[in-house]
């Protein structure tokens, strides 16, 4: 009786087995489409999958004989083996993808490392101790969507380095209230915020993003003052001989940058973090040099870039801190930028102060003066001159600008310093005053506050940091790292991101025709020929 009822059910389902199978496939397909097009309808997807499974089970019951015969057939077994192997392969791929999603492994094959975060950015993100939220405002226009995709890709790379960064994108047309809240006036704006601080940027480069993070998380922005009025490199001009790239790099490192004319002030501002003297061409007035002198004696920080044969008062100022500027032009016959011997190149072992020059590739100095330390033995306990970059021992100082040729017993032989640091408690010749020892029976003196030492960085050339050469090799990084050392912000010392390079392929018409015809005809013909050979051998 029980067997008859089962047969009856099978017979009834058998008449509709084909429809049941089609319905099962349709339900499964509909579940897949729903999950893709409407990911929020999770319950509906689950219900469709349950319905598909039920219909498939009814199909198997109704067409049990045919299914059993098909399963037992030889071709089915072979097909089942193939399906199992395919499913196993897909399973392995799924596991590998899951592991890859949790592990940040990237390979950047671009020549300039366009998609690799700089060491400085990674250091900033690793040191991020407070949450930073990024909100991007892009509409549905194709160009805006392309910008949103680029911003999303870069911010995803940032998020792999820290758990304190989050981001979202908002269409200001759909949510104008939020756009008004953030004071958004143009599409493509990104707002970085940490606590109560906000920074709005429109650029999509790594410099823009890292600079914005430093801005909203920094406790204070140190001020860098560039001296003007003596033909120094201008920070507001965009020509090749100016320092606008230096200014932009300092701003990206979270500094405030402005110019100062020493002839118009009675004293330097109290908020000077670093005073920059960048290649003056005219002499300083005596009151101006006295301003700089008093600033340094009070524990000031200065970056000085001299060119060959600077003015006497600038020489005296540097000599007071143990730096002597020699007459002449540095020529290095071993390490130089080909073909100009008067453009010395520093690299590898020629970098000698790892705190500033670590990880740098190379730097060159077009038309450099020769610097040498000049600190008497009695002053070396409170004046320390440390080389940054040096020439080789096959360098010399050419005193005749009309020729580049070594003259024995006339030209001074190197090596010379192309850059150096000075750290001192007092100038040369002025020993620090030590407190008198306590008399017997008197209490020990209270702990005195640590003295703020004077710091200088001196370079033998100002051309190397101009707009023309700032992004060449490690020139810009060397200068910016030096400023960070002067302000005791060693955490920012690193290799910075370079702007994207325009890489152009120049080919002749003949080469273009070869590429065109070989790709359009040669490879297809090669495939057809290989197929013909295989067919001929198997026929």
Q: Give the closest residue to 58 by CA, choosing from 30, 19, 4.
A: 19
CA 372 to chain centre: 34
∠161-163-166 over CA atoms, to 5°? 100
Average pLDDT value for residue range 205-223: 81
pLDDT greater than 70 at residue 418: yes
What pLDDT, on a 0 to 100 scale, did the predictor assign at position 449?
Answer: 45
Chain segment 384-411, per-residue pLDDT in tens: 999 999 999 999 999 887 788 888 888 8
**Token digits for 101?**
């999603």
Nearest alpha carbon to residue 332 among 422, 461, 242, 457: 461
Helix axes 244-252, 475-486, angle to 10 degrees: 50
pLDDT digits (tens, 9 = 90+) for 331-348: 999 999 988 899 999 988
| pLDDT mean across residues, the chain | 82
**Average pLDDT score over residue span 94-119:** 64
Q: What's the length of the chain?
A: 539
DSSP states along 402-435: T-----TTTSPB---EEEEEEEESS-TT-PPPPP
Range 300-305 average pLDDT: 96
∠ Cα 157 162 168 (to 5°): 60
Q: Pick the residue with more confidence: 254 or 125?
A: 125
Compute CA 208 distance to the chain's CA centroid, rounded to the nearest angstrom.
10
CA distance 72 to 405: 94
Q: Tell me the mean pLDDT in the region 33-54.
A: 75
Torsion of CA 240, 242, 247, 248, to 10 degrees: -20
- Beta carbons within 10 angstroms of residue 26's beta carbon: 14
With a pLDDT cut of 90, the percent of the chain lying above it is 42
Round to whole Å and give the CA distance between 479 and 498: 14
pLDDT exceeds cutoff 60 at 111: no
How far are the Cα atoms of 164, 178, 217, 260 from residue 213, in angstroms, in the given order?
11, 21, 6, 28
What is the pLDDT at residue 424?
A: 92
pLDDT range class, residue 206, cuts 50, 70, 90: confident
Radius of gyration of the chain, Cα coordinates, nearest whole angstrom: 36
pLDDT band, very low/low/confident/very high, at 203 (cuts 50, 70, 90): confident
The token pair at 69 is 């015969």
Residue 435 has pLDDT above 60, yes or no: no
Distance CA 199, CA 133 (A): 11
* Confidence category of residue 420, pLDDT binned at 50, 70, 90: very high
Question: If pLDDT is split at 50, 70 and 90, which confidence band does 230 have?
Answer: very high
Higher pLDDT, 304 or 1: 304
């Amino acid at each position: 009786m029980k067997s008859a009822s089962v047969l009856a059910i099978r017979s009834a389902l058998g008449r509709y087995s084909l429809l049941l199978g089609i319905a099962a496939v349709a339900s499964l397909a509909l579940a897949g489409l729903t999950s893709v097009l409407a990911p929020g309808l999770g319950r509906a997807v689950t219900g469709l999958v349950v319905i598909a499974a039920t219909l498939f089970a009814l199909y198997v019951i109704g067409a049990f004989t045919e299914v059993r015969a098909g399963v037992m057939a030889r071709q089915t077994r072979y097909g089942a083996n193939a399906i199992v192997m395919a499913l196993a392969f897909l399973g392995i791929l799924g596991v590998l993808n899951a592991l890859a999603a949790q592990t940040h492994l990237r390979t950047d094959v671009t020549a300039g490392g366009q998609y690799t975060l700089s060491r400085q950015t990674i250091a900033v993100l690793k040191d991020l101790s407070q949450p930073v939220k990024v909100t991007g405002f892009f509409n549905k226009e194709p160009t805006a969507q392309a910008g949103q995709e680029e911003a999303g890709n870069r911010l995803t790379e940032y998020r792999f380095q820290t758990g304190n960064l989050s981001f979202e994108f908002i269409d200001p047309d759909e949510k104008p209230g939020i756009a008004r809240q953030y004071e958004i006036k143009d599409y493509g704006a990104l707002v970085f915020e940490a606590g109560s601080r906000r920074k709005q940027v429109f650029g999509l480069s790594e410099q823009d993003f890292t600079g914005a993070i430093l801005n909203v998380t920094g406790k204070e922005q140190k001020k860098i003052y560039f001296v003007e009025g003596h033909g120094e490199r201008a920070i507001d001009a965009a020509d090749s001989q100016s320092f606008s790239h230096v200014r932009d790099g300092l701003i990206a490192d979270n500094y405030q940058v402005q110019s100062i004319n020493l002839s118009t002030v009675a004293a330097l501002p109290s908020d000077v973090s670093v005073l920059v003297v960048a290649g003056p061409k005219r002499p300083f007035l005596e009151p101006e040099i006295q301003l700089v002198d008093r600033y340094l004696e009070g524990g000031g920080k200065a970056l000085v870039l001299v060119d060959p044969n600077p003015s006497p008062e600038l020489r005296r100022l540097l000599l007071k801190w143990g730096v002597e500027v020699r007459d002449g032009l540095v020529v290095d016959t071993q390490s130089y930028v080909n073909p100009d011997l008067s453009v010395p190149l520093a690299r590898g072992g020629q970098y000698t102060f790892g705190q500033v020059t670590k990880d740098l590739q190379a730097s060159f100095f077009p038309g450099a003066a020769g610097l040498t330390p000049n600190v008497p033995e009695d002053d070396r306990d409170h004046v320390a001159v440390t080389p940054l970059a040096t020439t080789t021992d096959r360098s010399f100082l050419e005193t005749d600008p009309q020729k580049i040729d070594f003259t024995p017993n006339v030209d001074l032989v190197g090596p010379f310093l192309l850059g150096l640091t000075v750290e001192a408690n007092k100038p040369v010749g002025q020993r620090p005053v030590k407190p008198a020892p306590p008399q017997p029976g008197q209490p020990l003196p209270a702990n005195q506050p640590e003295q703020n030492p004077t710091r200088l960085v001196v370079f033998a050339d100002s051309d190397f940091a101009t707009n023309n050469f700032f992004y060449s090799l490690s020139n810009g990084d060397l200068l910016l790292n030096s400023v960070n050392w002067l302000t005791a912000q060693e955490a920012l010392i690193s290799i910075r991101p370079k702007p994207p390079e325009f890489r152009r392929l120049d080919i002749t018409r003949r080469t273009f025709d070869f590429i065109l015809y070989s790709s359009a005809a040669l490879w297809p013909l090669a495939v057809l020929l290989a197929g013909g050979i295989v067919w001929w051998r198997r026929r």
